[in-house]
Structure formats: structure tokens, C-alpha cells
Structure 1
Amino acid sequence: MKKILVLHTGGTIAMQEDEHGAVTPNLVNPLYSTIESLSSIASVVVDDYLNIPSPHMTPSLMVDLAKRLKERVQNDSLDGIVVTHGTDTLEETAYLLDLVLNIENPVVVTGAMRSSNELGSDGPHNLISAVKTAASDEAYGKGVLVVLNDEIHTAKNVTKTHSSNIATFQSPQYGPIGIVTKRGVNFHHTLSHRECHPVDSLTKKVSLLKTYAGMEADIVEAVADAGINGLVIEAFGQGNVPPAIMPALDRLIKKQIPVVLVSRCYSGVVQDTYGYDGGGRTLKDLGVIFTNGLNGQKARLKLMVALELTTDNEQLQQIFLT
């Protein structure tokens, strides 16, 4: 029987709703009753590591979490790991773990959209599905996975798409890579390449701005004046921005502050297609770094990691094309 660590960080999956309808952290994790029923699936050990709402999660805490997981794998001879997490920032923690963890053991992140005492609570079922996945031989070497609603997603592609629906986690361009059923875990495709950049800390300040019609240059300049080390821009469509912000982006790049471009669209990648002022081609000529389908929040984390490795713009571009 596989030895699986279930490490808790908090979130709705560990909360309860009070008589006034407010959902708050619970002192005793309500998942303990579910863990007792997992003995037929795996030998489970528990680590009550954190108990915070996911909006309280930070990149520094994510790196600390990665260190904790490495230590537990090395010291406890684990076969797999399940991390329970709040859904608001779950995709970011999962992706950061995927970027920095250089272990082949399955790591599965799960959560819940409904608190433990709400009717139709999804936490216990998601935990069971996550443990099944972490104990699966096929999950080995696939990087960090996200499992909710009986679907298995890669940390790189998954995102939260609905504010309250239990089917909120989707991989817009590629779909889930597997499913969990009563009879077991079935993978039907996988990533062709997994990257890993093990870093011990994140020391760089990176901001994220979303473009909008008529966006003013002083917004970009104000962020630049905040002492940032990098900037991610969520651009229109295939990678286009309002022309008014072009001079501000140019000044950032000339100050050796990298600017990374993603699309604010639900699916697709940015490309240097349009040659008008503010178009992708002019941004490319300016030295803006293009990504290969990451959303804004994940591109920000990747830039934070990449800046611990290099500040060279060409090398950063290669990292983001991986």
C-alpha cells in the first residue's frame, strides 16, 4: 500500500459555515473524518502545516511549502503527496510548486468550493479523488497535478473559471489529462515537456497589469515607480496594447526591467502578428517577452522564479518559450 502525505494549508475545504452564513476557518480540520476512511486506498499521514484562507497565500509561503514537501519526501519515504488548499490561489500555488519541485513523486493539489457543513460539500470527495491520484503509478513523473470534481489537470494549464460552481477548475486549451472513477484513475494524455527551476527563495518584485480600452501611461509609470523588478501585461487578443502605454513600456525595458506579455483572453497565445503602434510586432521589436499560453498570474510567478536565475532579456525569453 502506498504511503501518502496529506498536507493541509487551509481554505474552504477546512472551513465551516456559521449560523449567519459566514464561512470561516475551523480550529479542528473537518477532513479528519474523511481521512479515517482512506485506509483502503493508501497509508495516509497528515501534516497540519497551515490553516489560512487562500487569499492570504504569498509566493514566499509557496516556496516554504515546496521546501516542506521536499523534506517530507526525503525523510519519510513517501510515495505521493496531497496538498489541500483554498481555491482562490490554488492554481498559483500548484504552478509554483510545479516550477520549483524537482521530485518525481506525485504531488496533487485539491480543494473545495463548499465548506464542510454545507449541503453537497465537495471537500471529502475531492480529497478521496486526490489521494487515489497520488497513489496511482501513472501519476509518477507527471509534475504537480490539480484534482477536483473527478478531473485531473496539470498545474500549468488549469485555472479557476467560475466564482462558485464546483466544476470551476478547467484547462481551457487542452482539457483535463485524466479522470478519477470509482474503479480507479485513468490518464488519457500528458504534457510533452515539464520544466523545473529549483530556487530557494523569491526576492524579486513583479507586478501584473491588465490592459483596457483607453489605458493611460501613468498607470504603468506608477507601477514602475513602485520599485518593481519585472512587469507582466495582460494584453488584448493575440498580444496588443493601447498605444498610449508604449513609451512607458519602452522606458521600463531600457531600465533593464523585463516586461512579459500574456493575453487577457480565456484561450490562445500571444504572437507578434500586428504591426501597428501597440501591436504585437511593435512590442516584440521593443524587447517585450512573449509567453506560450500562460495566464497572467502564472506568468508573474514564473518571472519571479526566472529572475532568480537570470536578468538577461534573451535568456528570459527562452525560459518563457519553454
Structure 2
Amino acid sequence: MKKIVVIHTGGTISMHVHSESGAVVTGDSNPLTAEIDKLMEYADIHEIEAFNFPSPHITPKEMLAIKEIIEQQIAGKEVEGFVITHGTDTLEETAYFLDLTIKSDIPIILTGAMRSSNEIGSDGVYNLLSAVRVASAPDAFGKGVLVVMNDEIHTAQNVTKTSTSNVSTFQSPQYGPIGLITKPGVHFHHTPIRRDTFELKTISKRVALLKVYAGMEEDLLMHVANAGYDGVVLEGLGQGNVPPSIVPGIQQLIKQHIPVVLVSRCYNGIAQPVYGYEGGGKMLEDMGVLFAHGLSGQKARIKLLIGLSDVHLVRPLSSWFGY
């Protein structure tokens, strides 16, 4: 049987509904640890309780801690796969962080739950078992960090939470899952063709994420610059455009050597420099704005944050994004 390390970090998958208040809360113990016998039917399991945080409490500091745990386990033991239980709100960001920073082909799977452990229809144990099965599958090797939820396998780069409460919330818009889990086995039908990795020892930079909207004013960008941020990601309009009112603010950021990365706030399609009017994508590209093709705002922020924190990075900034 494969040796799989399960790293618990908290989230709904490890919570329960309080009998009196009806609120979903953490408990004195993680209910998933009681399911070890079920997991042992599929793999040789070693559990690590990294921390027990709701996912909105997760920061890049905790993401870095998970990375370090994984690297320590790889170096010290004959581990053949990892499963990380995580709250769903920021799961996609942690997954992409690990995908960009861990240089290993060992399967690393993140999973979570939309219903807590004592709710009717709880999906936590089922998703955990599915994740262990995927981590144990030979075809999972070399595919980067994956997210397993609701019988589907998604890449860390493309997956996103699309519903506040539905158990099928995790989807990969315009790309779809790369594999499925059925009772007989684990089936992959796509393979990622590209994966970027960075050398990261510490998080030393700050990157802001702003959503662009009609009538947006430049003072928000000026506040970001004055607050000492090292980079900015803008979720632009359409194919990658902004209102002309914020163009001076973007120019000022670039003048202060603060990189500006542009994505689209649309979840289908890619941002690209097409329009030549004031605030249009072509004008922004000529100013020095970088286009992150196919990434969401939160993923582009993670990538810029990691790239700026990589002290050994020799590639030009413009090569971090696009195809």
C-alpha cells in the first residue's frame, strides 16, 4: 500500500454544527481523525495536525508552513503522496501556492467539505477518501497539485469555488476537470502541459488585488502605492480594459516600479491587449502593464507575491505570466 501523509489544516471538513446555536464551529478534536480506519483500507496513512483554522484565517504564512511540512516529509521519509484537508474559501489559493513552490512530482491533493461533519449529507469523509484514492493512483504522479471534490479532479491553476454552498462548488471554468473518481477506480483524461515553479524560503512582499468597476477612481491606486505594496493585480473589464479615470494611477504605480498585473473579472476567456482606446488593453500593455492570461485575480496575486519573494529569480517579470 502507498504511504500517504494526510495534513489537516482545519475548515468546514473538520467542524460540526453546534446543537444550541446552530453555528458551524470548531471542536476540541478533529472528527476526521476518527476515520483513520476507513483511510487505511486504501493506503498506509500518517496524519499530521498542522493547525485548525477556518480558511478565511489562512494567509501566505500558513501556506508556506504547509509547504515546509511537505518538503520535510519528502526529505525524511519514503512518502508517496500527500492529502491536505482545508477550508474551501481559500483552498484554491493554497493549492496554487503549493503548485508554484514545491518542486516534486509526488501527488499532492487538497480536499475539503461544504457540509460539516454532523450535518445530513456531510461530504467531508467521502471527499477525504476520494483524495486518498487519487493520491495513491499511479497516474496522479507528475500532474502538479490537484484538488479533489465531489468525484472530480481539478488542477490547482484552473479550479475555483463557484457556489457559496453547493457541494459541486469547485469547477474549472472553460477547462473542466482533468479526471474523475468512480467506484472502480480513478480516471485521468487530461494532463497539464505546463507548470511554473519558484524558489521560496520566506514571504517578504505585499501584493494588493483590486476589482475594476465602472467609474472607478485613481485614489485607490494611490493609497496602494503610498501603503508600501510591492505589486498590484487588477481584475479588469472584458478582455483587459479599465476606465480612463484610473490610467494616471496605473502610470504612477509603474513609475514607482510597482508591477501592475491585469486579469479579467470574467471567469471565461483570457485577458489580452486588444483595444487601443484610453484605458484599453493595448494602451495598458504599451504602458508596461502585464497580462496574466487565464488566471483569476486571486491566482495572479499568489503568483506575483511568490515571484517577487523569490530572491534567486533571474527570469524577467514579463515571463511569469502568459503562455
- Seen in structure 2, the aligned counterparts of structure 1 residues 309 and 180 have a Cα distance that, compared at 3 Å, is same
Q: Which residue in the other structure is 1:203 paired with? A: 204
Q: Which residue in the other structure is 2:15 paired with? A: 15
Instruction: State the SS of the aligned residue for 1:60.
Output: helix
Q: Which residue in the other structure is 2:173 paired with? A: 172
Instruction: Work out the CA distance in 2 between the residues paired with 1:315 and 1:198.
Output: 15
Instruction: Work out the CA distance in 2 between the residues paired with 1:141 and 1:198.
Output: 18
TM score, norm. by length of structure 1: 0.98
| 5+ long unaligned stretches in structure 1 | none
Tell whether the 8 Å contact from 2:208 to 2:233 is kept in structure 1 after alignment.
yes
Runs of 4+ in 1 over 3 A off after TM superposition: 309-314
Alignment RMSD, CA only?
A: 1.5
Instruction: State the SS of the aligned residue for 1:320.
Output: coil
Which amino acid letter does the alignment assign opposite residue 296 of structure 2?
A: N
Q: Which residue in the other structure is 2:5 paired with? A: 5
Q: Which residue in the other structure is 1:139 paired with? A: 140
Which amino acid letter does the alignment assign opposite residue 100 of structure 1?
A: T
CA positional deviation for 1:36 = 1.3
Tell whether the 8 Å contact from 1:5 to 1:81 is kept in structure 2 after alignment.
yes
Q: Which residue in the other structure is 1:94 paired with? A: 95
Q: Which residue in the other structure is 1:45 paired with? A: 46
Q: Which residue in the other structure is 2:161 paired with? A: 160
Instruction: Work out the CA distance in 2 between the residues paired with 1:181 and 1:209.
Output: 40
CA distances 1:172-207 after superposition (whole Å, capped 9, x unpaired):
021000001111100000111111112111111100
Q: Which residue in the other structure is 1:191 paired with? A: 192
CA positional deviation for 1:209 = 0.3
Instruction: Work out the CA distance in 2 between the residues paired with 1:207 and 1:313.
Output: 23
Q: Which residue in the other structure is 2:275 paired with? A: 274
- Seen in structure 2, the aligned counterparts of structure 1 residues 264 and 291 have a Cα distance that, compared at 3 Å, is same
Which amino acid letter does the alignment assign opposite residue 11 of structure 2?
A: G
Matched, 1:66 2:104: no
Which amino acid letter does the alignment assign opposite residue 7 of structure 1?
A: I
Instruction: Work out the CA distance in 2 between the residues paired with 1:46 and 1:311.
Output: 33
CA positional deviation for 1:75 = 1.1
| 5+ long unaligned stretches in structure 2 | none
Q: Which residue in the other structure is 1:316 paired with? A: 317
CA positional deviation for 1:311 = 11
- Seen in structure 2, the aligned counterparts of structure 1 residues 312 and 38 have a Cα distance that, compared at 3 Å, is closer
Tell whether the 8 Å contact from 2:12 to 2:87 is kept in structure 1 after alignment.
yes
CA positional deviation for 1:314 = 8.3
Worse-superposed segment, 35-44 or 163-172: 35-44
Worse-superposed segment, 304-313 or 214-223: 304-313
CA positional deviation for 1:313 = 12
CA distances 1:236-258 after superposition (whole Å, capped 9, x unpaired):
01000010000010010011100
Q: Which residue in the other structure is 1:111 paired with? A: 112
Which amino acid letter does the alignment assign opposite residue 275 of structure 1?
A: G
CA distances 1:87-124 after superposition (whole Å, capped 9, x unpaired):
00000000000000011110000000000000000000
Q: Which residue in the other structure is 2:85 paired with? A: 84
Instruction: State the SS of the aligned residue for 1:269.
Output: coil
Tell whether the 8 Å contact from 2:199 to 2:312 is kept in structure 1 after alignment.
no
Instruction: Work out the CA distance in 1 between the residues paired with 2:221 and 2:39.
Output: 51
TM score, norm. by length of structure 2: 0.97
Instruction: Work out the CA distance in 2 between the residues paired with 1:5 and 1:313.
Output: 34
Instruction: Work out the CA distance in 2 between the residues paired with 1:134 and 1:192.
Output: 20
Tell whether the 8 Å contact from 1:258 to 1:313 is kept in structure 2 after alignment.
no
CA positional deviation for 1:321 = 2.0
Instruction: State the SS of the aligned residue for 2:37.
Output: helix
Q: Aligned residues, how many? A: 322
- Give the 5 Å matches for 1:238-317: 238-309=239-310, 315-317=316-318
Instruction: Work out the CA distance in 2 between the residues paired with 1:252 and 1:240.
Output: 17
Instruction: Work out the CA distance in 2 between the residues paired with 1:300 and 1:21.
Output: 35
Tell whether the 8 Å contact from 1:310 to 1:316 is kept in structure 2 after alignment.
no
Which amino acid letter does the alignment assign opposite residue 197 of structure 2?
A: C
Instruction: State the SS of the aligned residue for 1:7.
Output: strand
Instruction: Work out the CA distance in 1 between the residues paired with 2:224 and 2:67.
Output: 29
Which amino acid letter does the alignment assign opposite residue 48 of structure 2?
A: D
Instruction: Work out the CA distance in 2 between the residues paired with 1:245 and 1:311.
Output: 33
Tell whether the 8 Å contact from 1:16 to 1:24 is kept in structure 2 after alignment.
yes
Matched, 1:57 2:58: yes
